């Protein structure tokens, strides 16, 4: 994995006429994890989309090196293909990586993606992310729909990613059990 970093300075996020957040800043380097904390509707998902380059910040700047991947509620798999074929598509495109067996999906390879449960879809998204080889993971509610066992597996995957030099930025309502996790309370950044 190439060295990565993610810096944000004085970011502001606006949706329509509403300013959601202002003066958001942080500096992350290889091995770091940041928890974006705050209630629903505060702008956590919008902030992740800005960091991913899918939205422009209203103000401020981002400096990033390394590849970036966003995992949110939009599963990047073809809903009409069997899970195994859909995962293989991304493995071929991204160039190998973790196998879906790491996330307990081996018995679901023949099941069309559209029939997966919420937890199965989250595990499939994590399998895609793990196989991508990207340095910076942006995770929006990665533990939603997962029972305690699979939440532990997901967090272990995040820890392994960090140990290999990756960065994780996580928006989540669930408590996270990650070493050295820095919490950014977004309530402190309201207009």
Domains parsed from the chain with CATH numbers: 5-189 (3.40.50.300)
Q: What is the pLDDT averaged over residues 130-148?
A: 93
Structure tokens, 182: 């820095």
| Pick from 10-14, 88-92, 108-112: least confident | 88-92
Q: Give pLDDT, residue 2.
A: 79
Contact of 174 with 10, CB cutoff 8 Å = no
Rounded Cα gap, residues 54 and 31, in angstroms: 24
Alpha-carbon gap, residue 33 to 158, rounded angstroms: 9
157 membership: H or E segment, kind and range: helix 148-163
pTM over 0.85: yes
Confidence of residue 96 (pLDDT cuts 50, 70, 90): low
Q: Work out whether the CA dihedral 27, 130, 173, 149 comes out positive or negative.
A: negative
- The answer to whether 51 touches 62, Cβ cutoff 8 Å, is yes
Which pLDDT tens digit goes with each residue over 60-84?
999 999 999 999 988 889 999 999 9
pLDDT band at 40 (very low <50, low <70, confident <90, very high): confident
pLDDT at 3: 86
Instruction: Report yes or no: 181 and 33 within 8 Å, Cβ to Cβ.
Output: yes
Express the helix, strand and coil content of the chain in percent, nearest 5 each: 35, 30, 35
Q: Are strands 33-37 and 68-71 parallel, antiparallel or unpaired?
A: unpaired
Cross-sheet strand order for the sheet of 68-71: 68-71, 136-140, 167-171, 33-37, 182-185
Q: Which of 178, 191, 171 is nearest to 39 (CA)?
A: 171
Question: Within 10 A of 95 (CB to CB), how many other CB atoms are there?
Answer: 10
Q: What pLDDT sits at residue 131?
A: 84
């Amino acid at each position: 994995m190439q060295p990565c970093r993610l810096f944000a300075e004085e970011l502001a996020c606006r949706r329509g006429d509403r300013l959601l957040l202002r003066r958001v800043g942080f500096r992350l380097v290889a091995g770091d994890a940041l928890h974006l904390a705050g209630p629903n509707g505060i702008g956590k998902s919008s902030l992740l989309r800005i960091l991913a380059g899918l939205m422009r910040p209203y103000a401020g700047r981002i400096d990033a090196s390394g590849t970036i991947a966003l995992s949110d509620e939009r599963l990047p798999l073809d809903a009409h293909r069997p899970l195994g074929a859909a995962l293989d598509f991304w493995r071929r495109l991204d160039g190998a990586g973790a196998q879906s067996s790491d996330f307990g999906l081996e018995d679901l390879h023949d099941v069309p993606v559209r029939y997966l449960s919420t937890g199965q879809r989250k595990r499939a998204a994590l399998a895609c992310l793990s196989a991508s080889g990207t340095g910076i993971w942006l995770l929006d509610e990665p533990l939603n729909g997962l029972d305690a066992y699979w939440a532990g597996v997901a967090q272990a995957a995040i820890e392994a990613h960090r140990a290999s030099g990756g960065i994780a930025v996580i928006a989540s309502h669930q408590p996270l059990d990650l070493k050295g996790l820095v919490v950014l309370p977004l309530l402190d950044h309201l207009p």
